[in-house]
Amino acid sequence: MNCNEVRPLLSAYYDGVVTQGERVQVESHLASCESCRHSLAEYRAIGADIRALSVPIPPVGLRRDVWRAIEAQGNSSKRISGNAPARGPIPGTLLAPAQARRKQSFATAFSNVGRGWSRALPAALLVGVMAVVLVVMLVRKDGSAAAAALSEESPITAYTQPVHVLFSKRVLMTDPENHADAVSHTTLWETDVKPPVSVPVSITVTNTGSGPALTLMPKAGRWQPGASYEVRVDAPRISLGVDGSQLDRQPLTLTFTVAAYTPTATSTPTKTAIPTATSAPTDTPRPRNTAVAQITPEYTPVAPSEVTGTVASITPVRSAATATAVKASPTTVPSATATTVPSTPTMAATYTSTPTSTSGPTQTAEPPSQTPTARSTATATAIVTPTHTVVPTPTRRATPSATPVKSTPTPHVTSPPTPTPPCGIMPVNGFGKIWDNNPVVRNRAGCPTAYESAISLAAGERFQNGYMFWRGDTQTIYVFIGGPNDTVGTWASFPDTYRDGDPTVQPLATPPAGLYAPVRGFGKIYYNETIEGMSIQQALGWAVEPETNTTAAWQPYENGYALWTADRVIRFMYSQDYLWMRFADSYVAPTATPR
Amino acid sequence: MEGFALSIDEKSWVAKAREGDVAAFEAIYSRYERRLYAFIYRLMGNSEDAYDLTQDTFVKAYMALPRTSPDLNLSAWLHRIASNTCMDVLRRRKLIKWLPWETFDTNPAIEPAADDDPVGEYNQFETSGEVQAVLDKLTPKHRMALILKEYQGMSCDEIGEVMGASRSAVKSLLFRAREEFRQAYLARYGHAPGAEPDVITGESPSRLEG
């Protein structure tokens, strides 16, 4: 072989993708050809040069802009340009592009108003009409006899999931001739902007099994994270198809919100879209709450009979938990008991068995400081199909408030009952607050398998792209991959085999000024271990601080762990896919008692 | 469960992300953000393009994920989207490529960094801005193959998957890429790569390995 024949093989030889025969040929040629040896050396040098190129770190704004662009996709918006870190007014949320979009869609608002309310009125008048209509809606906020209801729970957590409007009467769904049908007179509005803007919506008629319903989906294909919406049902214009009767004398407004993007706002199965519950629409106006009951459960639902039977047994458990909470941490009481207020009267209407636990005396004590919790709603399991949302929904004005509610100091108490699976051990304190409020966490982590415990011997170190944590009692090192702005990442655990006196791993490169190379046990993992072919060192970058001692709290769950560290960060670590989610610990302990 | 072995199940993320689990997509994003950003940065040679095209890549991935097959090779797929996204841009810019930009002797890849800029600090490692300058001169396909191989650490088969080419096509692409690099390097610096020891013996900074 001459050099020209060998050259192409040389490149493949360097890459290790030659056959055995080719290898022999190349090597025998190399032995006698200095020029080709030189070429091979050059290929190596090229490779070394390229590998020596630094790995640029993405600017901090990139992640946020990616999410914004994803969110804006449905609105035909393109790339979010620029890389100034503080571009958006609300870092970490997805609101900024929405605002821009709203400006443009405001122009279209009036035309849609015309479609829904009156084609003939000039635009200027419409503003006035809208104001009046809004007043009417506010007056009607009791909503106890709503002729239409949403079947979805608010907030919507799956952005691509449609919402369904159920009617209490057999309305005309489509009526091209007389234009007196539900589809024509149902409009969608985004209300977190002033003035509210109409949202282009596609409406289809769906048979839910409990009668026809309207399925609404923004034409953009997804809901605006963090936005509030209204479905306006112009009930006076919707005919029942018999003797000119109408759905209702006044327009109806069905409100809901969409969870902003946080780990709490992650998906729920889209199959929850269609209500599956039993109660068919009847001619009797139905309380708003009936719709709530139709949400398909996210958790494995307990069989109804079983649930009913366990009311008595659930209650004592909860009472016991409450009693404990009273003693241990007074501020947990409002969250644990005051939130039973809404569920108790609601249930009293339907079921006679109300909780008679110790929660009674404290119910009116003070406004709940937290959102409704799992504990409080455990009793609701008796009647309501479990729903997935625990987040309070002040905008649900149609929630039956006709029921005498003893003390409803905050909108929180109008939240519907939201049962959660009863756990033998309930998470408390900061873990409990997140677990209670975040369906994704509950879903992923499951129930605690032990009480939380304090770790007094612990150390942590923050990195450019992650965090290392050492648990002294079990001699385990946990590595969390993910930058300072990440709320989700991957984790791994390694046994800490470093013992005092062991030689410190020598850094392969000196960290730049202001950054650090980890030492001791962290260093040993950092330099020697890998995650899927990527060394821990590469994954984490340099440390941004020296290793520091910390205190921590730890709780094992069915599918993972919760870790609290003294910097008031809580990480839920899931063992099924080695994801972690990070939260700020916003729980305020009642006293100075250390966790 | 608490263990030595780590098995991050990327497939389960993909499956969940496909169903709209935003947390799972976020996890995918977190894992690949640096890797794809670095890839695109080296391919395009500047941070503005890297920023914009990384964004485009992930948005496209998010949109396309529901239509992918369950046995998706996530890494190759994401790199493929990134490659196509970059190639589109490069193709569009081809018309102006012959304008006398190359008379400028500055390297667009290395930007002055503010004192408090951690990225800039990080880039202090860069002893060889020359290398990026040479890469920038290569035919885009050659540059891509070389970066995928040497910088992203991919095998020839993986590169084939990313670039939609056969294994033998990748081999020949790499050969031609290396030859072109060698020529460009020689033309620019007057000596072959590796001839100057300083260029290659600098301490290699931490980097992603495939």
pLDDT digits (tens, 9 = 90+) for A404-438: 434 434 333 334 444 455 788 888 888 998 888 88
CA A193, CA A289: separation in Å to the nearest integer?
27
Return the higher-pLDDT residue of A188 and A402: A188
Q: State residue A110's pLDDT score.
A: 30
**Nearest Cβ partner for A57 among B30, B122, B135:** B122
Helix B74-93 vs helix B22-44: angle between axes, to the nearest 10 degrees?
Answer: 40
Q: Which of residues 69-108 of B touch A (CB under 8 A)?
A: none
Shortest distance, CA B181 to any CA of chain A (angstroms): 8
Q: What angle do CA A68, A396, A114 make, to 5 degrees?
A: 70
Local confidence band at A468 (pLDDT 50, 70, 90 cut-offs)? very high
Interface test with A, best of B1, B4, B6 (most A CBs within 10 A): B6
From A232, A182, A209, select the one nearest A294 (Cα to Cα): A209
Which of A165-169, A253-257, A315-319, A525-529 shows the lowest per-residue confidence on average (mean pLDDT)?
A315-319
CA dihedral for A421, A423, A426, A427, sign (positive or negative) = negative
Residue A205 has pLDDT above 50, yes or no: yes
Return the higher-pLDDT residue of A595 and B125: A595
From A419, A416, A412, A446, select the one nearest A431 (Cα to Cα): A446
A56-80 pLDDT per residue, tens: 888 878 888 888 888 877 554 445 5
Measured CA to CA in angstroms, residue A155 lies from A224, A227, A392 at distances of 11, 9, 8
Q: State residue A533's pLDDT score.
A: 63
Return the higher-pLDDT residue of A577 and A129: A577
A255-295 pLDDT per residue, tens: 888 876 544 333 333 333 334 333 334 343 433 333 333 33
CA A80, CA A62: separation in Å to the nearest integer?
9
Q: Do B205 and A55 touch (CB under 8 A)?
A: yes
Q: Determine which helix (DSSP H) or strand (DSSP E) holds A127, and give its type and residue range.
A: helix A123-139
Shortest distance, CA A109 to any CA of chain B (angstroms): 28
How many CA within 13 A on the CB side of residue A32? 9
Measured between CB atoms, does A53 come within 8 Å of chain B? yes
Q: State residue A510's pLDDT score.
A: 79
CA dihedral for A286, A241, A184, A221, sign (positive or negative) = positive
CA A410, CA A369: separation in Å to the nearest integer?
9
Measured between CB atoms, does A120 come within 8 Å of chain B? no
Q: State residue A243's pLDDT score.
A: 61
Which of A77-86, A200-209, A471-480 shows the lowest per-residue confidence on average (mean pLDDT)?
A77-86
A504-555 pLDDT per residue, tens: 666 667 788 888 989 888 988 888 887 766 778 888 888 999 999 988 999 9
- Looking at beta carbons, which residues of chain A come within 8 Å of B16? 267, 577
**Nearest Cβ partner for A51 among B30, B59, B204:** B204
The tens place of each residue's pLDDT in chain B, 210 residues long, gives 333 233 356 788 888 888 877 878 888 888 889 899 999 999 999 888 999 999 999 999 998 998 888 888 899 999 999 999 999 888 887 655 444 443 333 444 434 333 333 333 333 334 457 888 899 989 999 999 999 999 998 999 999 999 999 999 999 999 999 999 999 988 888 888 776 544 444 444 444 433
Q: For chain A, give the percent of residues with pLDDT over 90.
A: 11
Nearest CA in chain A to B175: A11
Residue A10 has pLDDT above 60, yes or no: yes
Residue A329 has pLDDT above 60, yes or no: no
Shortest distance, CA B45 to any CA of chain A (angstroms): 11
Count of residues making up chain A = 595
Q: State residue A421's pLDDT score.
A: 53
**Nearest Cβ partner for B6 among A63, A69, A578:** A578
Return the higher-pLDDT residue of A254 and A142: A254
Q: Do B128 and A53 touch (CB under 8 A)?
A: yes
Measured between CB atoms, does A48 come within 8 Å of chain B? yes
Q: State residue B76's pLDDT score.
A: 92
- Looking at beta carbons, which residues of chain B come within 8 Å of A440? 23
Shortest distance, CA B176 to any CA of chain A (angstroms): 8
Q: Please provide the average confidence, as pLDDT, over all residues in chain A.
A: 65
- Looking at beta carbons, which residues of chain B come within 8 Å of A578? 6-9
Q: Do A47 and B150 touch (CB under 8 A)?
A: yes
**Cβ–Cβ < 8 Å for B89, B49:** yes
Is the ipTM higher than 0.85? The answer is no
- Looking at beta carbons, which residues of chain A come within 8 Å of B123? 54, 56
Chain A to chain B Cβ contacts (< 8 Å): 246
